[in-house]
Amino acid sequence: MKMQFKAIAFAAATLALGQAAWAGEAEAKKWIDSEFQPSTLSKDQQMAEMKWFIEAAKKLQAKGVKEISVVSETITTHEYESKTLAKAFEEITGIKVKHDLIQEGDVVEKLQTSMQSGKSIYDGWISDSDLIGTHYRYGKIMNLTDYMAGSGKEWTNPGIDIKDFIGTSFTTGPDKKLYQLPDQQFANLYWFRADLFARPDLKQKFKAKYGYELAPPQTWKQWDDQSEFFQGWGWDGSDKKLFGAGASYKPSGGGYSYYWWRQRFFAYGGQYFDAEMKPLVNTPAGIRALEEMVRTMPNYPPGVMLFESEEPKTMLVKGDVPMLYSWTSTGKRVGNAAESVIVGKAGFGIVPGAEIDGKIVHRPALTPGRGMAVSIYSQKKEATMKVLEFISNPEQSLKIVMDPKTIMDPWRISHFRSQKFQQAFPGASEYLAAIEKTFPHVVPDPIIPGANDYQRKLSFEITEALAKRKQPKEALDAAAAEWDKITDRRGRDKQKAQWGEKMGEMKQLGIEYHADWAAKAK
């Protein structure tokens, strides 16, 4: 309802601009009719909002703004923004958007070069929101909170609803100011073949071997039993040797193997650091988590060490694995009849955890996602902000998150409330409900300066253990030593202060270090 009231306000505001046909009207109508569907708004409400963008663009063009430049990582999500939304923005507003797609590491490198040189390589940056510490520390990215309330108020979309964004806690600095507009929010979810888990013959066979009922796993012990049970035989009725579960263990970027390890680690009582910045990754919680991953490697497909996010999703929708936990965009592929053989056969749930003193503790990963930022060196800040708002608008963003070809996860509350999304495919409403049920349990990344460095070092060592080049404890001891080096290099007192605040926030969520959980977890 809030979005509808704001859209109505748009319509009322635009009456003052006159009833005559306005430049870009035909183009806006074309895009609304052909591309910007489905939408959280009616077409009349969409047209009212597009009119505001066009009028704002006229003022910017009068100031000489004809083009802006934006950069992001080369993934399907941003390809849509680059090839489709950039074209739409230009046709509707007359301002060209040069949206470059480059590798993730190159985005970070160019951002650092811009910060060090004091020159604007790009006007806008779309990057992982765990760079918030860097943005805050260097002060080279525009403070959006102050801008929208101050000098940029005239240029800020009056319909923008910051509270509708889920991931603002990850794009807000220690000063409580917003530096990036969320563009995606990552959480992990669990998928399983509900049809297989309901089959009497499989239930009987599983119980005979493991002594308890076959059901969606609540704990990692159950997950490991089930992945072992399904590994290496034709549980689909064929004579194929199918696999026990899917996973992503490639140590690229921040490291997939890190995220798969982390969910066990926290369920077993782990925490990143203690109050003095001593790393806790090599405590019993971390060692148990990694030992289990190493021991269960045979339950996964060959090549799992090379898998990023999409390979195991493909195996799930093609019927080669019976279960997977991964990012929430998996659900769209599961429900896409054009590629999925398990439409209507899948169940959704919270990632497994551990039984601690009779209670199940779930600790699914919530990675920071991505955010859109404006360079302080840009001479076209107002126009850049317009593009970021345009990309994130509910009517455009709903289209993106619903499209199974993108790997975009829902990042606005209005995405979850959309009746169109809830009815997009069999099980869509259950899928969206499962995501929302996950949020109270999630564990955030260590959003402090150097977060990427810490993650990369840990992921490398986890992979060393998975590849059996090191023992789990040896690998985690090495990771802890590297973490100490990063902390000392960045200034232990500064890092301690930043971490103290984050540790306090995590404590409020019920996430604390428990030294005894690793031994008692079931």
Q: 87 exposed, middle or buried (CB, 10 Å; 0-12, 13-18, 19+)?
A: middle
Look at domain 189-366+442-517 and name its CATH class: alpha beta
Q: Which tokens hold the place of 245?
A: 């579960």
Nearest of 364, 356, 319 to residue 340 by alpha carbon = 319
Q: Check residue 15 and give its pLDDT.
A: 34
Distance of CA 97 to the CA centre of its chain: 25
Q: Check residue 253 and give its pLDDT.
A: 58
Q: Check residue 218 and give its pLDDT.
A: 96
Distance of CA 363 to the CA centre of its chain: 16
Distance between CA atoms of residues 97 and 70, nearest Å = 7
Q: Check residue 368 and give its pLDDT.
A: 60
Q: Check residue 82 and give its pLDDT.
A: 87
For the sheet containing 323-327, what is the strand order?
323-327, 188-193, 346-349
Which residues of the chain are in CATH 3.40.190.10 domains? 23-179+370-410, 189-366+442-517
Task: Name the stretches of the chain with pLDDT < 50.
Answer: 1-22
Among 3.10.129.10, 3.40.50.300, 3.40.190.10, 3.40.50.720, name the CATH number for the domain at 23-179+370-410: 3.40.190.10
For residue 451, the surrounding DSSP H or E stretch is helix 451-466
Nearest of 315, 155, 339, 156 to residue 240 by alpha carbon = 315
Nearest of 55, 58, 31 to residue 43 by alpha carbon = 31
Q: Check residue 434 and give its pLDDT.
A: 87
Q: Check residue 252 and give its pLDDT.
A: 62
Q: Check residue 1 and give its pLDDT.
A: 39
Q: How many CB atoms lie within 10 A of CB 421?
A: 22
Q: Which tokens hold the place of 458?
A: 């840990």
Q: Check residue 122 and give its pLDDT.
A: 93
- Residue 371 near residue 182 (C-beta atoms within 8 A): yes
Paired sense of beta strands 443-444 and 365-366, if any: parallel
Q: Check residue 78 and give its pLDDT.
A: 81
CB within 8 Å of 328: residues ≥ 6 apart: 186, 187, 188, 189, 409, 410, 431, 435
Distance between CA atoms of residues 507 and 112, nearest Å = 32
DSSP string, 207-265: HHHHSS---S-SBHHHHHHHHHHHTTS-TTSSSS---S--------TT-HHHHHHHHHH
Nearest of 414, 296, 422, 411 to residue 352 by alpha carbon = 296
